Structure 1
Amino acid sequence: MSLRYLSAKAAQQIDEELMSTAGAFSIDQLMELAGLACAQTVARVFDKDKYPRVLVCCGPGNQGGDGLVAARHLGLFGYRPIIYMPKPGAKDLYQRLKKQCDNMEIPTIPPSTELGPLEDALASSDVVLDAIFGFSFKPPIRAPFDSALPLLTESKLPIVSVDIPSGWDVEKGNAEGVGLNPDVLLSLTAPKEGARLFQGRHFLGGRFVPKTLEQKFELHLPPYPGSDQIVELSGSSQKL
């Protein structure tokens, strides 16, 4: 059976069930596992000896929380992450994840209305982890992200996007032409409809999905190899 690609409605429903009595996960657990999968994806494709400096771009929501967890794990893996938050999240969980990064002495670009600090960070980075927008994003892109995303594209650095590339519609992909065009995509739980149009290396992370939900939503997930938290999907481009 072929892997199921999720609509926005189905993705939201699965998330809700994972955190209900059906799944019994807390948001902290899911974010930790998702962030670990993000860090493992970066490590799988971009060797730390050649690409040690990772610019982790975090949005204000759960996607950004995944990015903060990933930054912490990348630091533990021996990379040199730096965090960029165009609009930091206000929730307690987000603040605690940021504090964990601070405790590991992972630097953060100071908040600024100017783009100079981001330009400087891009000039001294080897790869970008895009954890800005999640599957709930709807165009248009608003400030301060509308000026930050073009800089990420213009930098020509390789980009790893989390779940759906920032600026893409979860179902229509980059139909507006304003989203990032990453080299690597890590879909979480199951790939989203918009990801059918993605042309790079495509991984799946979400080894936490219980069999009951996998069967209920007919996800037809592939097996994860060994102890890995990620699996590369068949048909994924091997250009990197």
Structure 2
Amino acid sequence: MSSGGSDPAETPEERSFLSTAEAAALERELLEDYRFGRQQLVELCGHASAVAVTKVFPLPALSRKQRTVLVVCGPEQNGAVGLVCARHLRVFEYEPTIFYPTRSLDLLHQDLTTQCEKMDIPFLSYLPTEVQLINDAYGLVVDAVLGPGVEPSEVGGPCTRALATLKLLSIPLVSLDIPSGWDAETGGDAEDGLRPDVLVSLAAPKRCAGRFSGRHHFVAGRFVPDDVRRKFALRLPGYTGTDCVAAL
């Protein structure tokens, strides 16, 4: 499947990407039919995102400075996944710092924030506008600002300004689910938007992933039951051993 839509000659079994509507339907299936909890899904996705980071940036190969990770979180569900990702990176002995400028009043976000604070993960009060300061201070950045269907205008000025800064960084960028600011269907703004080195598609890749040209693309969806994969006619690589992510 191309990022612009389905090929009329394509059989359902050949689909690799989900539309925004299909992704929402898959999530509803997990929540309503399979009785997953929202916190459970966020935890599974955040843990898998952290594992994907370890695949590309294995700790033994990193210098002390390269172990520092800046995780930029928005107030919607992708931000919650980012908070979980930061916590697991801390467990994996990386050195995460979180920038979470527009904090959600949602209880799940508050609980996840408390967990990070209790684990002594620092939170930045502001993001330096001087890009070189960020390049010098961190080994990589995790983009968990916007998810599918969330526009920059919906999350406020601090997140919008953070995205403008992330576009200018020279250190590696890892985007969760979709690169923030991209249209989830068409990949619109891909040319002028974020250009991540790594994309971690949550549950299944969204259509815009067809325009991703970075070095590594993972899918974090081992928790999706086989029946659900078949229902949505997804053709994705198998998972190896006990891995919770698969390289695409």
Using the size of structure 1 for normalisation, the TM-score is 0.89
- Tell me how far apart the structure 2 counterparts of residues 221 and 180 of structure 1 sit (CA, whole Å): 25
SS of the residue aligned with 2:97? strand
Change (3 A) 1:92 1:119: farther
Structure 1 residue 192, shift from structure 2 partner: 0.6
1:63 match:
78
2:205 match:
191
Q: What 5-or-longer segments of structure 1 have no aligned partner?
A: 234-240
Structure 1 residue 214, shift from structure 2 partner: 1.1
2:179 match:
165
After TM superposition, the structure 1 = structure 2 runs for residues 1-240 of structure 1, keeping only pairs within 5 Å, are: 1-20=13-32, 22-48=33-59, 49-50=62-63, 51-110=66-125, 112=126, 115-116=128-129, 120-138=133-151, 143-175=157-189, 177-200=191-214, 201-233=216-248
- Tell me how far apart the structure 2 counterparts of residues 58 and 139 of structure 1 sit (CA, whole Å): 13
Q: Which structure has greater helix proportion?
A: 2
SS of the residue aligned with 2:167? helix
SS of the residue aligned with 1:19? helix
Which letter maps to 1:125?
Y
- Tell me how far apart the structure 1 counterparts of residues 132 and 123 of structure 2 sit (CA, whole Å): 14
Structure 1 residue 145, shift from structure 2 partner: 2.3
- Give aligned-pair identity as a percent: 41
2:4 match:
none
Which letter maps to 2:54?
A
Structure 1 residue 4, shift from structure 2 partner: 2.3
Which letter maps to 2:227?
T
SS of the residue aligned with 1:136? coil
Contact in 2 for aligned 1:58/1:67 (Cα 8 Å): yes
Contact in 1 for aligned 2:144/2:176 (Cα 8 Å): yes
Which letter maps to 1:148?
A
Which letter maps to 1:14?
L
Contact in 1 for aligned 2:14/2:233 (Cα 8 Å): no
> Deviation digits for residues 212-235 of structure 1, max 9, x if unmatched?
2111111123211011110001xx
Using the size of structure 2 for normalisation, the TM-score is 0.86
Contact in 1 for aligned 2:131/2:168 (Cα 8 Å): no
Contact in 2 for aligned 1:8/1:171 (Cα 8 Å): yes
More divergent stretch after superposition (36-45 vs 150-159): 150-159
- Tell me how far apart the structure 1 counterparts of residues 191 and 235 of structure 2 sit (CA, whole Å): 31
More divergent stretch after superposition (177-186 vs 154-163): 177-186
- Tell me how far apart the structure 2 counterparts of residues 223 and 176 of structure 1 sit (CA, whole Å): 28
SS of the residue aligned with 1:229? coil
Structure 1 residue 140, shift from structure 2 partner: 5.7
Structure 1 residue 179, shift from structure 2 partner: 2.2
- Tell me how far apart the structure 2 counterparts of residues 139 and 65 of structure 1 sit (CA, whole Å): 17
Structure 1 residue 86, shift from structure 2 partner: 2.3
Change (3 A) 1:6 1:213: same
Q: What 5-or-longer segments of structure 2 have no aligned partner?
A: 1-12
- Tell me how far apart the structure 2 counterparts of residues 146 and 33 of structure 1 sit (CA, whole Å): 27
Contact in 2 for aligned 1:59/1:87 (Cα 8 Å): yes
More divergent stretch after superposition (95-104 vs 129-138): 129-138
Moved over 4 A (4+): 114-122, 139-142
Contact in 1 for aligned 2:152/2:160 (Cα 8 Å): no
- Tell me how far apart the structure 1 counterparts of residues 169 and 122 of structure 2 sit (CA, whole Å): 20
